[in-house]
Amino acid sequence: MKLSVIIVNYNVKYFLEQCLHSVLNASGKMETEVLVVDNNSVDGSMDMVSHKFPTVRCICNKENVGFSKANNQGIRQAKGEYILLLNPDTVVEEDTFEKTVAYMDQHSNAGALGVKMIDGSGRFLPESKRGLPTPSVAFFKISGLTALFPKSKVFGRYHLRYLDENEIHEVEVLAGAFMLIRATVLEKIGLLDEDFFMYGEDIDLSYRIVKSGYKNIYYPHTRIIHYKGESTRKTSVNYVLVFYNAMIIFARKHFSRQHASLFSFLIHGAIYLRASVALLSRFLKKMSLPILDATLLLGGMYFLKEYWSRNMVVNYPEIFMLMAVPGYILIWIVSVYFSGGYEQPVRLPKIIRGIFSGTILILVIYALLPEIYRFSRALILLGAVWASIAMIVSRLVINMIGWKGFTLESDNLKRLLIAGGSEEATRVLSLLKLSGSAHNFIGFATPEATINNAASAKPPGEFDNFTVGTIDNLKEIIEVYKIDEVIFCARDISSNQIIRYMSLETTEEVEFKIAPPESLFIIGSSSVDNPGELYVIDINSISRNLNRRNKRLFDMVFSLLCLVTVPVGLFTQREPRGFLQNIFRVLGGKSSWVGYHYLSESGSGDNLPPIRPGVLTPLDSLKNQHLDPSTINRLNGLYAKDYRVYADLNIIRLGFKNLGRKPVFAA
């Protein structure tokens, strides 16, 4: 066996399928085995692998054992002369394995090899080559000197930016996303250090390879796409803690006591600094618009109150501005949030809908209050008008000045181009139509051979009428037609070509997506944690942000209601103790009152968006619960596709006595 490819998966089914397609295409000319080690995914990953990739060997863990331990499980079963550690969120070129293994065969002093990586937008990823994070390198990185002088040989050693990204180099650290290692080297230095749960294990392994007398090679003559999640993880406090603690483990293991202490001091300082920045950044990002809205509404209500007092000769007590107005503002903002008014891209009708529903709620509460607290119905209505004007105008101004991270949805639909052959490109277009996504479809870009064959074989059809050129002229097509989004059909266009076209420099900002063959989804982004639009046939409404929030709100409200009435509720349940436990499970976000009915042997839940494990399932709405797997799959699918809060309420009504049942897959 020449090559063993080991992929550790955790709840990234769509990326994994795309990765495996590319891996098998790259394995054609070489004796290769592929092992997927799954860390207890609940998104149907392993069912997908067994159904679509029967030649792939699977190792299924019953818990998330971490990246290092899972890789070691695969390495121990691997039979290859070379071991490739590969992330599931990658796409390799067809000649990647052939080129990299050939280089290793020709250079016996090379212990491990990494390749040039680009993200889902075609941008070079600097972590393709890195230096050892010594105390000085860490200090330059933490202090910001690395960012100020990226090309400096002194300050820029973290990402070695002074080395040409298109030349072969000997480097100190390779990325764990693609790390080709000699099996004999692993026998000599040992496997991955399992003290590193996630992050840092690639640095440790790279360093041990160098210490053993071998070289780590950065090889840019083949490329991979890596949909890395770093752009979003850096704003996560958990990422900061896990990543920097991994650095401390590395320092204590490899540096002298003096250097390790200095490194540990720097890292602890960095943890507090970056964690504080991460918390502040997340708070500002999430709360900046609501805070701006609250400020505008408070100021507007103050001037409205003053104007109304002078012209209508009405005196309002201090409590009006101190309690009533903040209450109105809170209801308006919460209503806008639950109507989707704070989603990106911002849709102005959702803001109007939120203000309207919030105003109705305020007026209902107003009517129930004692006379002494009914200050002014007119000011509530005037406030609603001001809230609508203020929020809409503020969004238009923010959009005009180009506030980072803010996008305003316009009537200008994305100009879409599909690159592929006649049959597959037409299938992808049909998939988009079935998913309900709105696009301005411009046309097809096709391999030249397809055009010639189509022209000679049959009269022009719909595909030919919408063909705007060949993929060889993709750059010109993008610029002439002002294309916003390109979807590549992976069945017709090789990974080599896709990566080459993604790396083209154009005058337009373009999003790229890939449609795997025989798959019902199209995926693509610069980040695995932010997959952008994910087009799936019969798009599941339960996956929409608005419905996710409504489902979570319903869970919270119903749980609180159960908690208030728990003395009565306990007598109605078949499992009273479980009922009380479930209330706190749902409040804590570990489960939901309603979820899918999972049958592992049937693959139920596969191809459905992941949701929290449920106490009840769609089967609880039926008297006969002894159904065949295909019927259960259809029930799950209907629940996901046509989700409404009413569906949860109806299932709970019919299965109320079973609310003490243990949730499926609940921790």
| pLDDT means over runs of 10, the chain (667 residues) | 94 86 90 94 83 93 87 94 94 94 95 92 87 71 72 78 91 91 93 73 86 94 80 48 63 61 63 66 80 94 89 82 92 88 83 92 88 86 94 90 71 81 86 69 79 44 77 89 89 89 78 80 54 44 76 90 86 90 91 82 54 89 70 78 82 90 65
Let me know whether 584 and 522 are in one domain.
Answer: no
**Shared domain check, 548 and 606:** yes
Token reading at 549: 């929030």
Of 438, 449, 451, 443, nearest to 426 by C-alpha is 443
400 in any annotated domain:
no
Residues 524 and 578 grouped into a single domain: no
Collapse the DSSP code of 471 into the 3-class scheme (helix H, G, I; strand E, B; otherwise coil) and give the result.
helix
Owning domain of residue 528: 415-539
For residue 321, being part of any structural domain is answered with no
Do 64 and 76 belong together in one domain?
yes
- 166 burial (CB, 10 Å; 0-12 / 13-18 / 19+) is exposed
Q: Which of 211, 216, 223, 232 is nearest to 181 (CA)?
A: 216
Question: How many residues are present in the chain?
Answer: 667
pLDDT of amino acid 121: 78
pLDDT for the residue 456 = 42
Which of 181, 209, 227 finishes a domain? Answer: 227
Q: 548 and 586 in one domain?
A: yes
Residues 581 and 528 in one domain: no
CATH of the domain at 120: 3.90.550.10
Instruction: Provide the edge-to-edge strand list for the sheet that holds 415-419.
Output: 467-470, 440-446, 415-419, 485-489, 511-515
Rounded to whole angstroms, how far apart are CA atoms 423 and 7? 31
Residues 592 and 653 in one domain: yes
Strand pairing partners for 60? 38
Rounded Cα gap, residues 556 and 561, in angstroms: 9
β-pairing verdict for 415-419 and 440-446: parallel
Residues 6+ apart with CB under 8 A from 397: none
What's the total number of domains in the chain?
A: 3
Question: Which pLDDT belongs to residue 258?
Answer: 56
Judgement on whether residues 480 and 595 belong to the same structural domain of the protein: no
CA 645, 355, 310 angle in degrees (round to 5)? 150
Half-sphere exposure of 304 (CA within 13 A, CB side): 21
pLDDT at 631: 74
pLDDT of residue 601: 41
Q: Can you spell out the DSSP letters for 355-374?
A: HHHHHHHHHHHHHHS-GGG-
465 and 585 share one domain: no
Q: Answer with the one of 487, 509, 539 that is the final residue of a domain.
A: 539
**399 closest CA partner among 350, 351, 348, 337:** 348
Phi, psi dihedrals of residue 39, rounded to the nearest 5°: -95, 60
Q: Is 344 inside a domain boundary? A: no
Q: What does the pLDDT read at residue 249?
A: 66
In a domain, 245, yes or no: no
Q: Are residues 15 and 121 in the same domain?
A: yes
Are 420 and 567 in a shared domain?
no
- In the prediction, which pLDDT does 263 show? 60
| 176 and 212 in a common domain | yes
**pLDDT at res. 539:** 44
Q: Any residues with CB less than 8 A from the CB of 175 and at least 6 apart, and which?
A: 114, 117, 125, 127, 128, 130, 202, 226
Q: What pLDDT shows up at residue 245?
A: 63
Per the domain annotation, does 120 fall within a domain? yes
Residue 517 near residue 428, CB atoms below 8 Å? no
What's residue 260's pLDDT?
A: 56
The verdict on residue 197 lying in a domain is yes
Identify whether 272 is part of a domain. no
Return the CATH number at 516: 3.40.50
- Report the pLDDT value the prediction gives residue 458, as an integer from 0 to 100: 46
Could you tell me what percentage of the chain is helix, strand and coil, using 3-state DSSP and rounding each to the nearest 5? 50, 15, 35
Domain endpoint, select from 207, 227, 247: 227
| Residue 17: inside a domain | yes
Q: How many CB atoms lie within 10 A of CB 632?
A: 21
